[in-house]
């Protein structure tokens, strides 16, 4: 256990000093600041106003940015550390492989989750100071959604880092993973369904398997239970799950997917060459 926390702490310290972390923090902090600066809380779109409007915009932007950011930075730093000899040295110290791998994941998870959450928390605190009504339920669910999203893409990133032997290959695989998930968002699925080339069950299955789609649907379903702004694929999914059931699924499934990917990554890591 001591080795695990030492490794987690080490990864946090390394990340806090990395350039990617500064950019990452700046992006999410900047988004919240910009949303306030441009008066988003005062504008009304699709019935949303106040902090609800800000949060729904923030989560949409997070959905677009966080997955690719987490994937690329994770594989770059892990594969980069391996190439640069960091693994050779640190793994020559008496640390268990399990403690090393999972400690790295815990440290990285905190570093990835904290800036996104803190930016959202800052928005809530500013809202409180300005006397804006706080949608606490939405805030809590979005926090859980970001936590699940970070776990999902961190797990995928660690799996890719275990498979790829070079930084270039790892980056390529991460980008292709993100692109594949992006291609199976509801607009493309809708197009396929309209053409009638695949069974609706398959389309629903793809949408349910795609964590990006799951997050997107869950984030919007909180405000739009009638699915006015969502595509038909999301509508079919909600029809099968129910609103509450889907909200739970949207948290559990991606978190499990991330955990499974990380577990598979660990299995590959401990069976192969370490540096």
Partner 1 sequence: MIRCANLAKSFRRTRVLDGVNLDVAFGERLALIGSNGAGKTTLIRCLLGEYIHDGTVTIDGRSPRTERTAVLGAIGFVPQLPPPLKMPVGQLIEFSASLSNADPQQIDRIAERLGLPIDAVRSRPFSRLSGGMKQKILIAIALGRDAKLLILDEPAANLDPAARRIFFDLLAERQRDTTMLISSHRIDEVAALVNRVIEMDLGRIVLDDKVADDVSLSGRFACRLVARRADAALARSLEAWHFSADAAGLVWNGEVAGPDRLRFIGVLSRYVALIDDLSLREVTD
Positions that interact with partner 1 (CB under 8 A): 2-3, 6, 9-10, 13-14, 17-18, 84-97, 271-275
Q: Based on CB atoms, which residue is closest to partner 1, 23 or 34?
A: 23
Minimum distance from residue 52 beta carbon to partner 1 (Å): 40
Q: Looking only at Cα atoms, what is the longest distance across the chain?
A: 58
Minimum distance from residue 271 beta carbon to partner 1 (Å): 7
Query: Cα separation of 106 and 99, whole Å?
Result: 10
Minimum distance from residue 167 beta carbon to partner 1 (Å): 13
Q: Based on CB atoms, which residue is closest to partner 1, 26 or 96?
A: 96
CB-count burial class (<10 Å; 0-12, 13-18, 19+) for 182:
middle
What is the CA 131 to chain-centroid distance, rounded?
Answer: 30
Q: Based on CB atoms, which residue is closest to partner 1, 87 or 241?
A: 87
CB-count burial class (<10 Å; 0-12, 13-18, 19+) for 66:
buried
Q: Based on CB atoms, which residue is closest to partner 1, 232 or 275?
A: 275
Minimum distance from residue 87 beta carbon to partner 1 (Å): 8
Structure tokens given for 242: 């129910």
Query: Cα separation of 112 and 218, whole Å?
Result: 21
Which helix (H) or strand (E) element contains residue 54?
helix 51-84
């Amino acid at each position: 256990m001591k080795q695990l926390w030492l490794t987690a702490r080490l990864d946090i310290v390394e990340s806090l000093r990395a350039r990617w972390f500064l950019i990452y923090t700046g992006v999410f902090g900047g988004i919240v600041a910009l949303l306030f600066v441009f008066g988003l809380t005062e504008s009304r779109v699709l019935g949303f106003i106040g902090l609800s409007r800000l949060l729904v915009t923030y989560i949409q932007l997070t959905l677009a940015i966080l997955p690719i950011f987490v994937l690329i930075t994770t594989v770059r730093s892990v594969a980069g550390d391996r190439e640069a000899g960091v693994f050779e040295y640190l793994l020559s110290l008496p640390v268990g492989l399990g403690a090393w791998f999972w400690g790295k994941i815990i440290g990285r998870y905190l570093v990835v989750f904290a800036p996104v959450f803190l930016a959202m928390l800052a928005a809530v605190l500013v809202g409180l100071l300005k006397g804006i009504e706080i949608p606490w339920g939405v805030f809590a669910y979005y926090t859980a959604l970001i936590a699940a999203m970070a776990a999902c893409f961190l797990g995928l990133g660690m799996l890719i880092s275990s498979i790829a032997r070079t930084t270039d290959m790892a980056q390529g695989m991460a980008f292709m993973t993100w692109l594949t998930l992006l291609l199976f968002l509801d607009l493309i699925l809708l197009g396929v369904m309209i053409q009638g080339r695949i069974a609706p069950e398959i389309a629903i299955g793809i949408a349910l398997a795609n964590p990006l789609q799951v997050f997107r649907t869950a984030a919007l379903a909180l405000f739009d239970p009638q699915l006015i702004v969502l595509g038909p694929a999301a509508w079919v999914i909600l029809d099968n799950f129910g609103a509450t059931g889907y909200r739970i699924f949207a948290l559990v499934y991606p978190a499990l997917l991330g955990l499974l990917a990380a577990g598979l990554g660990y299995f590959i890591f401990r069976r192969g060459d370490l540096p």
